[in-house]
Each structure stands twice: as C-alpha cells, then as structure tokens.
Amino acid sequence: MDINHSLSLFAKKYDIDTSELLTAGKLTIKVDDDLNIECIKAKGNIYVSGVIMKLPSNQQQRTDILKDALKANFTLIETERYSLAIDKQHNQLLVTLAKSQQQIADEDFEQMVMSVINNTEFFKNYLTRAKTRKMPQAHYIMP
C-alpha cells in the first residue's frame, strides 16, 4: 500500500493537512496542548513519535527517569511494539514506532498514531507518578 494514500485517508478523517509530510517528509499532528505526534518518512520507513518529556540536565535525575521508563517498558514489551528513544538534539525522551512504507495498510497508519498517543500518555503518567513516589520523606527519630 502507498503511504501517501494512507496519509490522505487519515488526514481526511481527522481534518489534518498532510502537505508538510508529503513535501518535506515530516508532519506534526497536534493532539492537544501537551502532546504533539511527529510522523517522519525516511529511508523507506515511516516513523511515528511522541515526546514523553524533556530530560533533566541533572545526571542522577536523568538516570532515575530512564530507569523508571525502562521498568515500565519491560512490563509492556510483550504486548506493544514501540521503542523508547532519546532525542539528543532536543534532550527528550520519546516513544517511537517504525514500519516499512510498503507494509502499511490504510488502517495501519491510524493504528500507529493512536498507539503512539496512548503509549506517550501512559509513560507521561507513569513517570509523573514514579517521581512523586520518590519524594524524600522526613525521618523522625524517637528518643
């Protein structure tokens, strides 16, 4: 199936302008104020990514976040086919799905976008909860 046909059907269904992807090879879908999904055509593949969060510059905090993300990823790896990635240029943690353009049927592209949206939201929520669980507690010493 032609990826341009799949994109056209998706764009029509959700009223999205895909001319940017068709000409520049990249499309940003604004889901809401906090979530954008990026679709990139490159090397015969289509990549769909969502930004989970900007990573902190503090190395210990960064390591803790990545450990928590990998723990959650480990529990989902049997049922989900996505990758966690770090965008070094923008210092961001991403959820990414990739598929060959020739293997994408019309419904596959929509499913890829929806899966990335769901997984990005899952990781955002999971990492927010993990961060609040690790807040230091005051220790009281009884005399």
In the predicted structure, residue 134 carries a pLDDT above the cut 60: no
pLDDT band at 17; cut points 50, 70, 90: confident
How is the chain split into domains, by residue range? 3-133
Does residue 18 have a pLDDT over 70?
Answer: no
d(CA 67, CA 47): 24
Cα dihedral 105, 109, 114, 115, rounded to 10, equals 80
**pTM to 2 decimal places:** 0.80
- 59-94 pLDDT, tens digit each: 999 999 999 999 888 877 767 678 899 999 999 999
| 3.40.50.620, 3.30.1460.10, 1.10.3720.10, 3.40.50.300: CATH of 3-133 | 3.30.1460.10
